[in-house]
Chains A and B, each alone.
Chain A
């Protein structure tokens, strides 16, 4: 039976060309896997978050004030569009956690008496809520509890409004507002041990914070589709007499904003990167299958001569391409689901959602498969068309030798004396530049992907380096419970082990420029300070100007201010008329939306007699444990963060990400490089088998012949390297742009070391491909090749 024979040929071809089938399918698998894993992770996380927000009733508008009588809440509830108001009291506490050798800071938040009412509902991981009137019961945030190994039934000490009290942990919970348990301290990674959220019963919190019958924090829920802007304006005007600090929508809610930043990065990794990989895979697939089918010209002609129709012949070869895509897709989906689970798990460790499970997104997976399939079939189709359009007799007669010309360099008379073998290789390349280019382009793409994405990791490490080694050089940052007289910092100097103390002031402010309003803080620092310094992306240190403000460049750009402009600043703690502060310099720094001023200048602006918010310390490293423990007993100190711990936390987080993503990128780049080089060489071998066999008959040794074929491929790889590195730099720039936000900059870091490493990986892949080819070349059956005609 005719069809059966053709089917058998298909299976045999797949087996015979298994090296190419596998390496090409692996490229498909990489593209599909990345789409399935990354896109799926992003969707799963987004779903988990949206679902969580809905179920836990995350607020839409958030506002703070100094002290608002409870009845005002009903006026807020009457604002059109507002469906729920949830007034709370909140404040900061110093926490004394048994076993923790440094003072921790805590955010105290009251709980509504009725568990079923209000917004931002707790999701209990274990234990229960604090009973309505219990004064010594607290629910503790999960991250903090985990970092400090706190369990239900443990007690911790808390200093609230200057009074020490013991509270018992009755529950461990999470809430949408604290998915990111934010510390007030500046810095990128928080040491999870050092900051937590404590939920107390309303009664207990009100009395502890001295806010009986009042609230200082309110969340509002809006009806679906309500624009928060007019609500925010109404809230601001109602709360203004009570020291309102300005309402914000979700976008500016700190935890949500950080989460959004994280999701933005995930979008880059979850959308852009897989698409780029998929495009590369599709390109390679197209080329490889096109060339693969083209090598079967004679078979196609023979099939036609036997009376197979063009359709049947085309169907046969398209089925071959389809089989490759199918194998790759199945593997890609399976690997993608596995990897997606892994990734989602990594995020689940960091993101406090009640449930995160990876779910395969069928639409994107199907899209990736269809894209791969289309690319493969298109490549195969063009080749099949080319072969099928030949009259069978013509194809069977064999090609008369292809028409070659002397090399351009020879025609120009530049080169004369080349060994004939080398000349042969060069003429091949010049004669069929597209074929040669396809290998180079594939390799260049692999290298670009590798160096481009690795540069991001390098950038992250560079950021940590700049941040912790150049900018934040203090060993310990101590924060006070409230602005304290300058003496408070001087007293720290007397603690054993403290070598240098530099005090700082942090003043929460609101900056307004046109329609852009941002809540941030001005950091006042000593002008010639040695510990905490102004440092730009490149790690250059900038002096603190004696007057005026230094503004982060990205923040300034968002606000639209330039050097020489004035910033309109409202002091959140003191109220009063907005003040104008001249912008004297912009600082192109990596993190945050910071404003810096010399301590004196800030004092003049605030006018409360040189108060300080904390101090940066340089300490005798040997005495760090005793010192940190000692700080726990200083009443003014509400928190201390050790640089060691911050660096360790950062490294842990980075390395974990790097291990997974880095491995992934390297593996995919290797697969693509292998696919490009191996297939390039393999197809070149079948195209040249006759010539190479002729050379062997003429007495060329295996080494010489291998050198010709692999040397050519090597040259194509060599050409690809610089192109790939340039492409990588472009990709880095692109990804960096996508990562950039108002709060975070990503430096474009071109590291020669890293590029060399990436090039090495790609070259290693090429060498591996060459080794596989070499084996095949050595087994080249001279007689068989020469017996055939073409």
Chain B
């Protein structure tokens, strides 16, 4: 169900904790006044402007928007891959101290990614030289309290394909390996940038199902970027981005199972 647009002129999170889907208090991310400008020679490209946003523990957020609207930029900043031009991003893990990402140096951001963030990209970015199990082990080798690689792969339904190389897996399977690799460290947040962008609808539903399942079973706060509006139905909350701003926010009363989505 949609919140009428008139009511969501500016959607911020601090007015929402009480209405949080599963009642988990506290935000994983608190984003304030975030802006990002790329300088390209003489022209400035404003990718993000004045974004305020809270992401709560355990929620599944879908970020909708046309290509170039700033979704990836926002996600990359949240994930510590990129730094904003202005604004702050406060990160508070489930266990541990909260910190301001915008004041972290490159090494601190690396540590942040290593300990708290799981990424899934459109192009799966698996290491071709490593098997599914080894690709996941790449993360579990360096994480603090990971789950076994096999368990992560079972979670995404690939318990039988542990020793297959990426070249021996279909696109959907490769993306599920990528998800297993992202969640094996038991991250605080799972960030997925167009995870179905390179997949057909059938396979896409399967992959989204896995993300949905991980979010439910592990309670990992999850952000899924898509330009595919129907996918929004699987979310707790939907944000729409236009020209670098969050132009619209809505909350689903029920999350539709990804297997029932059509596009």
Question: Residues of A with Cβ closer than 8 Å to B?
Answer: 398, 400-406, 419-421, 423-424, 427-428, 431, 690-691, 693-702, 704, 782-783, 786-787, 789
Contact = CB atoms under 8 A, between A and B. Distances in A.
Nearest to A787: B72
A698 B138 contact: yes
Nearest to A701: B110
23 contacts: A401-B128, A401-B165, A401-B167, A401-B174, A402-B128, A403-B128, A403-B167, A404-B128, A420-B138, A421-B141, A424-B138, A691-B128, A693-B125, A698-B119, A698-B139, A698-B181, A699-B142, A699-B185, A701-B114, A702-B106, A783-B72, A783-B76, A786-B121
A6 B4 CA distance: 53
**Interface residues on chain B, size class:** 35 or more
B129 A419 contact: no
Contacts of B19: none
A419 B168 CA distance: 22
B167 A690 contact: no
Nearest to A430: B129
B167 A402 contact: yes
A697 B165 contact: no
Given A421-B141, A698-B142, 5 more contacts: A401-B128, A404-B165, A405-B165, A697-B79, A698-B139
B50 interface: no
A423 B125 contact: no
A424 B139 contact: no
B129 to A, nearest CB: 4
A693 B174 CA distance: 18
A700 B138 CA distance: 9
Nearest to A400: B167
A403 B165 contact: yes
Contacts of B90: none
Nearest to A690: B125
Most buried by A among B81, B115, B126: B81
A419 B139 CA distance: 10
B167 A428 contact: no
Interface string B48-62: 000000000000000
Interface in B91-108: 106-107
Interface of B: 72, 76, 79, 81-82, 106-107, 110-111, 113-115, 117, 119, 121, 123, 125-131, 134-135, 137-139, 141-143, 165-168, 174, 181, 185
A403 B165 CA distance: 7
Given A400-B167, A789-B123, A424 B129 contact: yes
A700 B128 contact: no
A423 B79 CA distance: 27
Query: Which of B81, B114, B127: most chain A Cβ within 10 A?
Result: B127
A398 B125 CA distance: 13
A419 B140 CA distance: 10
Contacts of A697: 79, 81, 113, 119, 125
A289 B181 CA distance: 36
A88 to B, nearest CB: 82
A632 to B, nearest CB: 79
Nearest to B198: A789
Contact of A696 (B110, B134, B167): B110
Given A696-B110, A698-B119, A701-B107, A783 B81 contact: yes
A699 B115 contact: yes
Nearest to A705: B110
Given A697-B81, A697-B119, A782-B81, A420 B134 contact: yes
A421 B141 CA distance: 9
B20 to A, nearest CB: 28
B111 A404 contact: no
Given A698-B119, A699-B110, A786-B121, A420 B128 contact: no
B126 A699 contact: no
Nearest to B106: A702
A699 B139 contact: yes
A400 B169 CA distance: 10
Contacts of B76: 783
A698 to B, nearest CB: 5
A625 B185 CA distance: 85
Contact of A404 (B110, B115, B167): B167
B110 A702 contact: yes
Contacts of A783: 72, 76, 81-82
Contact of A700 (B142, B174, B181): B142
Nearest to B115: A699
- Listed from nearest, the 7 A-B pairs whose CB atoms lie closest are A699-B114, A401-B128, A401-B166, A427-B129, A420-B138, A694-B125, A699-B113
A469 B174 CA distance: 73
A624 B113 CA distance: 80
Contacts of A698: 113-114, 119, 138-139, 142, 181
A699 B111 contact: yes
A427 B134 CA distance: 12
Contact of B127 (A403, A424, A701, A786): A424
A756 to B, nearest CB: 35
B130 A424 contact: yes
Contacts of A405: 165
Nearest to B174: A401
Contacts of A423: 129-130, 134
A475 to B, nearest CB: 68
A695 B113 contact: no
A700 B107 CA distance: 10
Contacts of A696: 110
Nearest to B110: A701
A211 B127 CA distance: 95
A699 to B, nearest CB: 2
Contacts of B129: 402, 404, 423-424, 427-428, 431
A420 B135 CA distance: 7
A694 B136 CA distance: 12
A507 B72 CA distance: 96
A421 B138 contact: yes
A400 B128 CA distance: 9
A786 B119 CA distance: 11
Contacts of B110: 696, 699-702
Nearest to A789: B123
Contacts of B82: 783
Given A690-B125, A694-B125, A698-B181, A420 B137 contact: yes
A401 B132 CA distance: 13
Contacts of A406: 131
